[in-house]
Amino acid sequence: MGQLVWLITGCSSGFGELLVHHVLSRGDLAIATGRKLDKIKHLELAGAAALELDVTRPQQDIDDTVAKAIAIHGRVDVVVNNAAYIVMGGWEDIEYDQILAQFDTNVFGSIKVTRAVLPHLRERRSGTMVFIGSLSGWHGHPFVGAYAGSKFALEGLVESLSRETEAFGLKTLLIEPGRFRTKLLSPGNLQVMQSKIPDYAEASREHANGLAKEDQTQPGDTQKAAKIIVDLVRKEGCAAAKDVPFRFPLGPDCFSTIKEKCEETLNLLQEWKDVINSTNHDSGTDIGSN
Catalytic residues: 147
State the Cα–Cα distance between residues 34 and 112, nearest whole angstrom. Answer: 15
3-class DSSP assignment, residue 119: helix
Residue type, 235: K
**Of 144, 164, 169, residue with least CA distance to 84:** 144
Q: How far is CA 128 from CA 29, 111, 117, 140, 257, in A?
A: 14, 15, 11, 28, 27
- Structure letter (DSSP) for residue 40: S
**Of 207, 212, 211, residue with least CA distance to 194:** 207
Q: How far is CA 98 from CA 15, 92, 134, 193, in A?
A: 24, 12, 20, 10
State the Cα–Cα distance between residues 130 and 22, nearest whole angstrom. Answer: 15
